Structure 1
Amino acid sequence: MLARLDHVRNWIFDLDNTLYPASADLFSQVDARMTGFIQDLLGLEHDEARRVQKGYFHNHGTTLSGLMTEHHVDPHAFLAHVHDIEMDVLEHDAPLVAAIAKLPGRKLIFTNGDTPYALKILDRLGLGASFEAIHDIHAMDLMPKPHASAYAGVCTAFDIDPAQSLFVDDMVRNLLPAKAIGMTTVWVDNGSEQSPGAERDHIDFTIPVLAPWLETILETS
């Protein structure tokens, strides 16, 4: 293991655009279904619904949080609708499966999605049995990353010491609260970031793709 990471006992991973490449563009399907949901809910034209959607995302952390706050939307109904997508673009990722299996310590998923959706993705990638648990939006009491309570919650739920933990995410803003409580942070810089110009002093490692980086740190003596 890379000496700089000898302290890591807990490997915590985001899901979307982190465990699979952003080029899969899976989230575009989710994004389109969110826009459609808002169109139907509020009776808006497409462009206005999309403006509202993105406003909720930036102001509340997720579109769902905005819809719950502003319109009392049932989160279960919303998530079931937006996650009803095709996943044929995802393929078994043997190098990633092998690399994660070699990591010493505990391995967890920490996602703003829900568990049924996460399980579908993990199964497509061949990672269905690779993680101890999935800490999803419901486990966060519907307060998503980057709310500080989400990070405190995952640490409490699994008795995790942040100082012995590494967190990987494709969103710069989601790494800031992790660093604030002592986690080592890894940014997957693959083009999915939606906060251009964000401060990045809190990022310990910047990588384009996950599997090759994991292979590199495991091979380093």
Structure 2
Amino acid sequence: MTKPSPLTRQNGYAPPRYRAAQRSSDALLDAGRELLRTRTIDAISVQELCAQAQLTTGAFYGRFSGKDAYVQALLTLAAHDIGLRMQATVARLERGAPDLRGAAAALLGTMRQALRRHEGVLRASLQDPRHRETWAPFKHGGQQLVEQVSPLMLAAAGLPDTPAMRARLRFAFQMAMGTLVNALLNDPGPLRLSSPALDAELAVAVSAYLLAA
């Protein structure tokens, strides 16, 4: 059975009924992901999106009510994809017995790679005041993830699962995720979003902070 698309009930989006229409929709979304890697939302016109996708503007407006609905669709798909990737990593960690640093590196590495996969869309939305509120699903997803992995992480650290330790773990991940978002937005270096070494260094920071309690 085909799984329903995250966009099925998206406002301003007309779900395709046929395979050819789905290919056109995918091409338009891929065009936006590519163009937004180096451009802002306002700097890209519908005509450019359609040219990149090799489609007509009629194809665009047959699927999306306008650019705002189009950007929202990109963000909805990004949130869905990131959620799936994070849950797959959590499931893998639950099947094994990782140490604290290994678990932190796996979780933060998956997050870094997922942010990089959607970096243009996420950066453009955060830089545009009209779309900043769409960061809420990512924020809530991150908060839920930390609550979900708290028992695993604290057990790996040999620490008690108490409200105080959970609060400390939340802050450890807040620092790590804040570093990832800063890398996404500002690319300050020395380690960039494209660097796998960032996973290991963030895992060391999370582990050190948590064990310093």
TM-score bin, normalised by smaller chain: 0.3 to 0.5
**Higher share in helix:** 2
Which structure's relative contact order is higher, taking Cα pairs within 8 Å and 6+ residues apart? 1
**Higher share in strand:** 1
**Highest CA radius of gyration, 1 or 2?**
2
Normalised TM-score (structure 2): 0.35
Normalised TM-score (structure 1): 0.34
